[in-house]
Structure 1
Amino acid sequence: SLFLQGTIFTLHLSQRRIFLLLVRRNLENNNLVGPLPQSLNRTGLEVRTTGNPCLSFTSLSCNNVSSTIDTPQVTIPINKKHKKQNNIAILLGVSGGALFATTLIFVFMSIYTRRQRNKERDITRAQLKMQNWNTSKIFSHKEIKSATKNFREVIGRGSFGYVYHGKLPSGKHVAVKVRFDRTQLGADSFINEVQLLSQISHQNLVSFEGFCYEPKRQILVYEYLSGGSLADHLYGPSSKRLSLNWVSRLRVAVDAAKGLDYLHNGSEPRIIHRDVKCSNILLDKDMNAKVSDFGLSKQFTKADASHVTTVVKGTAGYLDPEYYSTLQLTEKSDVYSFGVVLLELICGREPLSHIGSPDSFNLVLWARPNLQAGAFEIVDEILKDTFDPESMRIAASIAIRCVERDASGRPSIAEVLTQLKEAYSLQLSYLAASAHTD
């Protein structure tokens, strides 16, 4: 069908072909005169034209119409079926993408939620287990935050995290250790320390007040010792305010040895501290010493076991060389570390130091031959002319034996304690005699 809408229509013989070609085309309005583009001359294309003079697919001129007439404007309707198919494809693509993204998010959220639930379940299970260890108290994070006044006062820092001063509602002052390591390894170490602290009790071990174990929170609460650490008094700010004399140093050594002797011989099962050092020996206001920090400690699983095979952990300068090479941890590993502490008390210097000659970098390698030769010139300058020579000789002798490379040549901590008590007694007698003479 052909719909010709307009006021005038003229059809020449030469246009009959055009008429036939335009069957089923709708040519709208006015006179149809002039050439049409050849691109429209194809089957299946619907053409609608506005009425312009001389409509033709050839360049022939029409009657009374110039051959330069402009090509009439045409409207080419978009193929609705093709457009509809495109729209459907786009809609399906967008919907599919959104569905995939939603599914992906749901999967990730499900995994995350499941992991969080497992962590919370593990923490709850661990808390119930810890409650059976007769620990003093399980604190909430809110209680810890209140006790420390929002973690305001830092009193210490180590590889584990920060230590804050706190005050419980009862008025008791506490040290709050907030751990950095929240990995599974850190959680195992935390639970290990809580278990050990819950099982031991001795006047020369820092007492355990409780803990907080919540998601992403591992906090230990100890008694607060206002005297700081032995390291503070030997090398830190406290050393400038108040120097430790020889009798005070021996008293600290005796107290620390008592604490270690309890771990090795008084607890069941036996415990190896594994990180004995000056910064882990704390002092109260009366200068009584207590051993602290049991995060690396190991228990003997069998009463008759001679060692515990484990990965090497500890602090450089204090580490037992035999344990380092064999991975076999024994009580003698603690003895070696304590021997280094004794050398620090005698010489007044750290285990590893770049100050001085290269030969003096390592305290053990430097001090041992000098003390064996009786060269007390290496004794801390602060102690010069204030100690009993025999007291110093006994302390130096036991310190040298403690740091023997071969563990079998080292004394037990019980023997170390006996020797230190003798050195302490001699120094007290020396001071009493000196006071009487004055």
Structure 2
Amino acid sequence: MAATPWLLLLCLSLAAGGVLQARAQPDSNGFISIDCGLQGEEGYVDTATKLSYYPDTGFTDGAGTCRNISADYITPSLCKGMYTVRSFPSGPRNCYTLRSLVPGLKYLIRAKFMYGNYDALRQPPIFDLHIGVNHWHTVNITKPHVEKSVEAILVVPDDFVQVCLINTGAGTPFISSLELRPLKKTIYPQVTAAHGLLLSERINFGQIDENNVIRYPGDTYDRIWTPVVSSGTYTEVSTTSKVIPDSLFEVPTTVMQTAMRPRNVSSGMSLSWDPEPQPNNPSPGYIIIMHFSELEFLLFNVTREFSINLNNEPWHPDNIMPKYLYGAAIYNSVPSWKSRYDISIIPTVRATQPPIINAIETYTVVTTTNLGTDSLDVSAIMAIKVKYQVHKNWFGDPCGPETVMVWDRLTCSYATTSPPRIIRLDLSLRGLNGDISSFFTNLKAIQYLNLSNNNLVGSIPDALSQLTSLTVLDLSHNQLNGAIPSRLLKRVEDGSLNLRYGNNRDLCANDNSCRLEPKWKSNLAIYIVVPVVVSMIVVIVVVVLFCSLRRKRQGSMNNSVEPQNEATTSYVPGNNAHRDSFSLHQLESRRFTYEELKIITNNFQRVLGQGGFGYVYDGFLEDDTQVAVKLRSHSSTQGFKEFLAEAHILTWIHHKNLVNLIGYCKDGEYMALVYEYMSEGTLHEHLEGSKHNGGRLSWRQRLRIALDSAQGLEYLHKGCDPPLIHRDVKASNILLNARLEARIADFGLSKTFSGGNDYVSTTTLVGTPGYVDPEYHATMQLTAKSDVYSFGVVLLELVTGKPAVVREAAPINIIHWSRQRMERGNIESVVDARMCGIYDVNSVWKVVEIALKCTACVSPQRPTMTDVVDQLQECIELEEGRTIEVGNNGFYTSGGSDNPDLSYNAYIADQSSDSTTFQTEHGVKRVHSMPTGPATR
């Protein structure tokens, strides 16, 4: 979600909530720490972590009730955050909203619960937890004194996340505390945009103090490490020396400084647990992460070596030899599903020392693929909610989960690969006061809007006419005044809008202020009885049908027939004066009439996008082929010349990386181009996050898009005769199909050059700010290197995820923004955080270098597109070489990045996974265990 709408909402909330809302923000560490149910405005500092906890007032919509647990359950060891709860006796869903986050970053989210008989009913509840529209966990409180913690690590797609409590009919949901911690994007590689990790257990072996729970500040990410102490069979091993952590999990040195091993060299170690089924996941798969470090300095003739089995089969293909004071992790990336998990750590025949283990983490996998409502729709409807104080069942995501939690009096459309959109909103009889909010105009997919029978005042916003999908607008029975905007009247006249505005006493007070042109097909519903002469209607219908049939017959007989009274127009592409004249007669593509376009697009119902030429509409041909129809707007600055240029060029040239033209329309004043349908929209939409994947294109996908686009431009420069300069290369002119294959689009400004000249003199500067070649800007001489410059800007957008003009304290071109950071030698400060660190660093460096060469101020210093294509292919080879060949079933070993001798830092194998309930052999005592975790034996 874009930050700006939420910033506006934040300001609105600040006006209402004052200092409380100001505290509903991350602290200097990026942490959010909430004591749910804490009353008053003051927070406190936790004695153990020294972190500040605040009341939850600024994070909820004021729903719920603050309660104290029974004094019978308050003990000296109970942390203060468990003293109070917020319960939610009303509504099926109540949510906490955590804002000011970094989209695409990984976060640890932890919710804690202690019933404590706060309601004096002695009936612990069962309820569901959701993160956004995705199920997180079913909370089953079994005993009043038990503390339950539910923790997940996931990628947050927007600049906010919602944690929702769902009433399932088994008791009143409640919560004691809620914590959010940002993580470095490179750790926990199993966490992706599609899958998160739900903690089962996080254990620190070898502690001698059963109360020594390690969390912040010992763990900079505030993970909670539960100590396990031995009762005799195992021996604790420890060191005071610093242990260098591995880079993928960054286990704190205080955890890695202790370990546990058997007393005898020949003895092994065993860990066991049974899966913990969930109602929505009866057979959970598990991810297991085991941490090892040698803590004893071993002489050359002393060997600690062991293997790891799962259910009596090798879990790891190689033997393990931990390195002295270097942390390393063995983990699986693909979850496994087993009826029981028995892990054995067994010494090899060469071992002279028993095996060792420092820590272990086990997780189940939670799916995060359910899409929340379109971010622009969310920001609009939330602003409407705040303005009109709508609360009834307006909590959480507006459209999801589908059929279960949709907001009251709101209807959404759902697609498989794109976020839900709000298409109907009925706020009639809701006591709305004030003017008609401008945020209604941000509901771009709305088809039906009913604001009738309220107390709305002021005029009707003209911007409502821009809602191209809107077919019914009911404003009747309010207190509106003034005139109906002319553009709304025009839509009423052309039949695209049914407008109801009766019973607004001061609306249309001037007799001429709402007058329509005298068209019989007007849909204006003003509840006035108009006498109609039946015979005249019959005559009109007959005439219309006759004309329509005649036009269709003409179109079907010859798709190239010119409209009557239209002069044939010749077009000479580019500056090539010797090229034969060209007219619409010579186009090979199909010609459509305007009436046919209306049928194809269902009366231009669904808008796919908008550009300088006009709107682009979704359509289907007779054979159900999906197409995109770009219809010229009457207000467009691009005229017949640009229309004809693009139609001609796309008929003349063909390449797999150029958009395919299916047909065109030149019907009187109507001009349109019909293209192949590109289901994934523009590259710009993906990078800005308005597409469903929220900008989370992988680096490999971005490289492939870059190469596809470069090959398209190379064809224009080298493969065409005469060659073409595109002149408007930018991310919004790169379209993506369902396989994310890229096509260059929009050739209305293109120019040819030939005859030995490598430039074209122009009199008018065209292009998009941020992409325009400065040399072209200064000299007005256009070259193929001008396209190279613009493509370099696109490359930087692919790397950084930033727009061509970066909006920070002051607007700055992405080239300067990138150069400033590259000079520091830190690639991470440049790369889009939404890629979560999953990329080959060398390939990223190379792409940035290519981009900076492309954007050199002097064109001779820039490479050709052929050079760019060759170098991008090398980048793809580097990226493809990043992943070492997968072993048997997807296991990995990671080690300390500073240890050159680490012997098991390769990609490993087997299909095992999370863990929930641990049992260690021979009387190991586990303390401070999580309720979902393992039981010892």
Pairwise same-fold verdict (TM > 0.5): yes
- Deviates further, 361-370 or 233-242: 233-242
Question: What is the rounded CA distance, in whole Å, between the counterparts of 2:724 and 2:569 in structure 1?
Answer: 27
Q: Over residues 385-433 of structure 1, what are the superposed CA-to-partner deviations in whole Å (9 max), with x where a residue is unaligned?
A: 2111111111111000011111111100110111111101110111345
State the one-letter code of the partner of 1:132: Q
How large is the RMSD of aligned CA atoms in angstroms?
2.4
Displacement of 1:143 after TM fit?
1.1
Matched, 1:130 2:130: no
Identify the structure with the greater strand proportion: 2
TM-score normalised per structure 2: 0.33
SS at match of 2:727: coil
* Equivalent residue, structure 1, for 2:751: 298
Matched, 1:422 2:892: no
SS at match of 1:431: coil
* Equivalent residue, structure 2, for 1:374: 825
- Identify if the C-alpha distance between structure 1 residues 321 and 184 changes in structure 2 by more than 3 Å, giving closer, same or farther: closer
Aligned pairs for 1:313-352 within 5 A: 313-352=766-805
Question: What is the rounded CA distance, in whole Å, between the counterparts of 2:653 and 2:681 in structure 1?
Answer: 22
Displacement of 1:119 after TM fit?
9.3
State the one-letter code of the partner of 1:284: N
* Gapped regions of structure 1 (runs ≥ 5): 1-116
SS at match of 2:738: coil
Question: What is the rounded CA distance, in whole Å, between the counterparts of 2:857 and 2:570 in structure 1?
Answer: 43
* Equivalent residue, structure 2, for 1:277: 730
Q: Over residues 94-121 of structure 1, what are the superposed CA-to-partner deviations in whole Å (9 max), with x where a residue is unaligned?
A: xxxxxxxxxxxxxxxxxxxxxxx99933
* Equivalent residue, structure 1, for 2:697: 244
4+ long deviations beyond 4 Å = 123-128, 181-185, 239-242, 432-436
- Deviates further, 389-398 or 252-261: 389-398
Match of 1:234 among 681, 687, 691: 687
Question: What is the rounded CA distance, in whole Å, between the counterparts of 2:816 and 2:684 in structure 1?
Answer: 20
CA contact (8 A) 1:270 1:303 kept: no
Aligned pairs for 1:34-45 within 5 A: none
* Equivalent residue, structure 2, for 1:67: none
- Identify if the C-alpha distance between structure 1 residues 291 and 408 changes in structure 2 by more than 3 Å, giving closer, same or farther: same
Match of 1:120 among 565, 578, 596: 565
- Identify if the C-alpha distance between structure 1 residues 228 and 429 changes in structure 2 by more than 3 Å, giving closer, same or farther: same
Matched, 1:287 2:740: yes
* Equivalent residue, structure 2, for 1:205: 658
Match of 2:852 among 400, 404, 428: 400
CA contact (8 A) 1:372 1:400 kept: no
- Identify if the C-alpha distance between structure 1 residues 216 and 432 changes in structure 2 by more than 3 Å, giving closer, same or farther: farther
State the one-letter code of the partner of 2:822: L
SS at match of 2:882: helix
Question: What is the rounded CA distance, in whole Å, between the counterparts of 1:157 and 1:141 in structure 2?
Answer: 19
- Identify if the C-alpha distance between structure 1 residues 128 and 349 changes in structure 2 by more than 3 Å, giving closer, same or farther: closer
Question: What is the rounded CA distance, in whole Å, between the counterparts of 2:779 and 2:612 in structure 1?
Answer: 25
SS at match of 1:430: coil
Q: Over residues 208-247 of structure 1, what are the superposed CA-to-partner deviations in whole Å (9 max), with x where a residue is unaligned?
A: 0010012211100000010111111111322655610111
Aligned pairs for 1:151-190 within 5 A: 151-180=604-633, 186-190=639-643
SS at match of 2:617: strand
- Name the larger-Rg structure: 1
Question: What is the rounded CA distance, in whole Å, between the counterparts of 1:314 and 1:184 in structure 2?
Answer: 13
Question: What is the rounded CA distance, in whole Å, between the counterparts of 2:809 and 2:582 in structure 1?
Answer: 55
State the one-letter code of the partner of 1:322: E
- Identify if the C-alpha distance between structure 1 residues 119 and 290 changes in structure 2 by more than 3 Å, giving closer, same or farther: same
CA contact (8 A) 1:256 1:291 kept: yes
State the one-letter code of the partner of 1:383: M
Displacement of 1:179 after TM fit?
1.1
CA contact (8 A) 2:695 2:801 kept: no
State the one-letter code of the partner of 2:809: S
Question: What is the rounded CA distance, in whole Å, between the counterparts of 2:669 and 2:868 in structure 1?
Answer: 42
Question: What is the rounded CA distance, in whole Å, between the counterparts of 1:125 and 1:339 in structure 2?
Answer: 35
- Identify if the C-alpha distance between structure 1 residues 382 and 334 changes in structure 2 by more than 3 Å, giving closer, same or farther: same
- Identify if the C-alpha distance between structure 1 residues 405 and 241 changes in structure 2 by more than 3 Å, giving closer, same or farther: closer
SS at match of 1:279: helix
SS at match of 1:252: helix
CA contact (8 A) 1:250 1:424 kept: yes
Matched, 1:192 2:645: yes
SS at match of 1:259: helix
Q: Over residues 76-104 of structure 1, what are the superposed CA-to-partner deviations in whole Å (9 max), with x where a residue is unaligned?
A: xxxxxxxxxxxxxxxxxxxxxxxxxxxxx
SS at match of 2:672: strand
Identify the structure with the greater helix proportion: 1
SS at match of 1:349: coil
Q: Over residues 155-189 of structure 1, what are the superposed CA-to-partner deviations in whole Å (9 max), with x where a residue is unaligned?
A: 00112110000101122111000012578961111
CA contact (8 A) 1:182 1:218 kept: no
Matched, 1:390 2:860: no
* Gapped regions of structure 2 (runs ≥ 5): 1-561, 572-580, 891-905, 909-937
SS at match of 2:883: helix
Question: What is the rounded CA distance, in whole Å, between the counterparts of 1:182 and 1:215 in structure 2?
Answer: 16
How many pairs were matched up? Answer: 318
CA contact (8 A) 2:785 2:862 kept: yes
Aligned pairs for 1:84-99 within 5 A: none
- Identify if the C-alpha distance between structure 1 residues 277 and 119 changes in structure 2 by more than 3 Å, giving closer, same or farther: farther
- Identify if the C-alpha distance between structure 1 residues 335 and 181 changes in structure 2 by more than 3 Å, giving closer, same or farther: farther
CA contact (8 A) 2:688 2:695 kept: no
- Identify if the C-alpha distance between structure 1 residues 371 and 120 changes in structure 2 by more than 3 Å, giving closer, same or farther: farther
CA contact (8 A) 1:182 1:216 kept: no
TM-score normalised per structure 1: 0.68
- Deviates further, 203-212 or 375-384: 375-384
SS at match of 1:177: strand
Aligned pairs for 1:344-363 within 5 A: 344-354=797-807, 356-358=808-810, 361-363=812-814
* Equivalent residue, structure 1, for 2:917: none
Displacement of 1:290 after TM fit?
0.6
Question: What is the rounded CA distance, in whole Å, between the counterparts of 1:125 and 1:170 in structure 2?
Answer: 33
* Equivalent residue, structure 2, for 1:261: 714
CA contact (8 A) 2:793 2:804 kept: yes
Displacement of 1:379 after TM fit?
1.2
CA contact (8 A) 1:274 1:334 kept: yes
* Equivalent residue, structure 2, for 1:16: none
CA contact (8 A) 2:735 2:744 kept: yes
CA contact (8 A) 2:695 2:834 kept: no
Question: What is the rounded CA distance, in whole Å, between the counterparts of 2:602 and 2:563 in structure 1?
Answer: 32
CA contact (8 A) 1:272 1:334 kept: yes
CA contact (8 A) 1:182 1:217 kept: no
SS at match of 1:204: coil
Displacement of 1:303 after TM fit?
3.5
Q: Over residues 253-309 of structure 1, what are the superposed CA-to-partner deviations in whole Å (9 max), with x where a residue is unaligned?
A: 000001000000001110011011111101100111111111111111x33111011
- Identify if the C-alpha distance between structure 1 residues 318 and 124 changes in structure 2 by more than 3 Å, giving closer, same or farther: closer
Match of 1:409 among 861, 878, 883: 861
CA contact (8 A) 2:682 2:731 kept: yes
State the one-letter code of the partner of 2:847: A
Question: What is the rounded CA distance, in whole Å, between the counterparts of 1:129 and 1:385 in structure 2?
Answer: 52
CA contact (8 A) 1:335 1:413 kept: yes
SS at match of 2:743: strand
CA contact (8 A) 2:843 2:876 kept: yes
Question: What is the rounded CA distance, in whole Å, between the counterparts of 1:413 and 1:130 in structure 2?
Answer: 32
State the one-letter code of the partner of 2:799: I
Match of 2:601 among 148, 164, 170: 148
CA contact (8 A) 2:696 2:835 kept: no
* Equivalent residue, structure 2, for 1:78: none
- Identify if the C-alpha distance between structure 1 residues 409 and 146 changes in structure 2 by more than 3 Å, giving closer, same or farther: same
- Identify if the C-alpha distance between structure 1 residues 184 and 345 changes in structure 2 by more than 3 Å, giving closer, same or farther: closer
Identity in percent: 40
SS at match of 2:639: helix
Question: What is the rounded CA distance, in whole Å, between the counterparts of 2:691 and 2:775 in structure 1?
Answer: 34
